[in-house]
Chain A
Amino acid sequence: MKVLGSRELLADVLAKELCIGCGACVSLCPYFKSYNGKTAMLFPCTQEQGRCFAYCPKVEVDLDEVSRTIFGAPYSIEPLGRASSVTMSRAGAKAPGNNYQSGGTVTALMTYALAAKHCDAAILTGREGLNAVPAIVTSPDEVKNYSLSKYTSAPTLAAFNQAVDEGFSRIGVVATPCQVLALAQMRSNPMDTKDYSDSTSLVVGLFCTWSLDYRAFRKLVAGKVDINEIKKFDIPPPPAEVMEIYTGSGTIEIPLAEVRATVPNSCDYCFDMTSEFADVSVGVVEGRSGMNTLIVRTERGRAIVDGAVKAGYLVIEDMPAENLASLKTAAGNKKKRALKKAMGEGIINTSDSCRALFRLEKNTLAGI
């Protein structure tokens, strides 16, 4: 993996508006800070090689190398990535509350992971107004306060870095695909740190088609709804083509085309809909509002899911074949769209003298 410094990160990511504000470079040093969902570089740094560049999911990502770290195998041609099972799931009787985006699987899993001491801290993302704000959570009872989708991009990994700095060593993280990719890069020890140990014990990846730019979204919503009154956001399945915003005094709808206009450019280059480098990935099931799709990818993911089921936190059901097929189509389409765009701009597998967005084996790329 090619590792450079903050100067290159500034040129390749921040200046090109490819930064999604995942927070991977934040809380490591005094130079990168997150504010309103965006990452800012306060001052230039002189390091030739830095963790900021090494962890960034938007520059010089070697997908095969990352995949080998997580799965012991190169990047998969499969639309859903490497998966040991794809099922439906929902929160079980032991899971807290009922205020879920859909099936409550993430809340159930994280509550269980903390309660069963599988994790010593959970990195979750809450919401202040329209702003997605990460937090380090150690009490299983608090996990439910972070349920529901946020939609605006979040510096979740800034809280992860902070948790590592504070000495947590079995950290559970709930993350979007870009954040999961950054985490996977961190876990591949790209700086060859001596005595490196993986501080994560569970990575729960979320399905994601895009996130929203906080400022742009706020501008869109301004005047339409009292931000402090917002209870929940949802995007019902097609053909609705709207975003629903639930408030204490009713629901308002914003045309999806207007919402999409606030998606940062960066999301156009994202090939990953299902958080392919997570231990487990969770999303919706089309037409089944009370259920989630649950993809188990790794052995430790499997262990936690099994434990959660056994302890009554989670309920698993088989996934109907047609749902699986349409999920694969959607994931495949996102992948093809992103790769086509990146290839068109010549930023995949570039020559050594030129930095790439990401790299992967030629045949895999051709296969996709």
Chain B
Amino acid sequence: MSDSYAPERETTQGKVFTVTGGDWNDVISGRDPIHDERIVVNMGPQHPSTHGVLRLVLELEGETVTDARTVIGYLHTGIEKNLEFRNWTQGTTFVTRMDYLAPIFNETAYCLAVEKLLGITEDIPERAKTIRVMMMELNRIASHLVWLATTGMELGALSMMIYGFREREFILDIFELISGLRMNMAYVRPGGVAQDVPAEAVKKIRELLAFMPKRIKEYEALLSGQPIWLQRTKGIAILDVTGCVALGITGPVLRSAGLAWDLRKTQPYCDYETYEFDVATHNDADVWGRYQVRIEEMRQSLKIVEQALDRLKPGPVIVADKKIAWPAQLAVGQDGMGNSLTHVAKIMGQSMESLIHHFKLVTEGFRVPAGQVYVPIEGPRGELGAHVVSDGGTRPYRVHFREPSFVNLQAIPAMAEGGLLADVIAGGASLDPVMGGCDR
């Protein structure tokens, strides 16, 4: 295919494209540069307000956006393809890196799907389920805090950024205590979780529960009455329920338009139906509404974390089936998560059968009966769905993630066109896109 703007030629190094812009003089002679207000602004992919490598091509008449186009793919890492070459357990270490602000959600969606394929959903121990819920809700708070921090920064409330990241850091410390890593933990595994929650972490979570409600109040005191914040959020980037459903927008953006659609309530998983919490909604359908919904969701998540802590009873954290459960008792050491030394001593010194079992399960993994499932969960950004296909082998045959960031970004033209350039930032930020998840 030849393009007159970008001729191509073959070299020993491969195909080379040359952009000559040969008809540039024709193009500009056809326009009146003095009286034409139309400009095209290329925003991103390297731009502090686009939440990563998102590129927006905006056509402006003065300061009004007449046309907005979204270009993605700069962070495509082929995670879905890579999964097909690793075993089922290794899959968690890949999916956790997609939406890097919500690793626990990626892992849980993937593991719930694998468990559904294995038919062991009912066998997951109570404690494992409770830990998953607790970790997910802590993660939701951390993710919303980053949203609040970055959006605050983008709209001029710089101090909000410092406070948001301060509290998020506390939650990441809790994650580190539990899993050995702050992010990308690969903590949730098919069958349960990698290891138990230490008593020290429980203490730290109680600490968070004690101070966090006051901190959330402080955020509101900082922002809610602030005239600049109000002017930059109220009535900006409106998207009603019809628009949201047509464009597939879920999560806080849909709830800010007034529809109480939360998968934790409407199609519960992980026993969410047994927890007491409310679905936050708002009627304004604008950036302000999304801010209110996320603030309320943080409060509700704290409520769920508290209930989860209270029902955390001693017990196993992974299925009893030794053909699926990871044989090594993992432990958090000085340098992160690894095999516990007592387990290594046992398999190397005392039990050859344990060594064989360990070796087989780690190198070969387990087989998953053929079939396909789709498991959706409520991520911080909306419906996070895992479509997992098995051919009966030790590796996933195909894994596709319905990423809320990917789907939600389609709303940018609907929100931005006809508005001001400055409101593109507010509208885009209110979607809370994470490009790692969007591009996978």
Verify that A and B bind, or say they do not. Answer: no
A residues apposed to B, CB below 8 Å: none
